[in-house]
Amino acid sequence: MKEKVQKVIDQIRPSLQADGGDVELVDISPEGVVKVRLTGACHGCPMSQMTLKMGIEKYLKKQVPEVKEVISES
Domains defined along the chain, listed by start: 2-72 (3.30.300.130)
Q: Does the pLDDT of residue 4 top 80, yes or no?
A: yes
Please report which confidence band the pLDDT of residue 73 belongs to, taking 50, 70 and 90 as the band edges: confident
Query: Global pTM?
Result: 0.90
In whole angstroms, give the CA distance from residue 39 to residue 13: 11
Q: For residues 30 and 48, give the distance between their C-alpha atoms in angstroms, rounded to a whole number.
A: 25
Q: How far apart are the first and last CA of the chain?
A: 23
- State the pairing for strand pair 33-40/69-72: parallel
Strands, sheet with 21-28, edge to edge from the N-terminal-most edge strand: 21-28, 33-40, 69-72
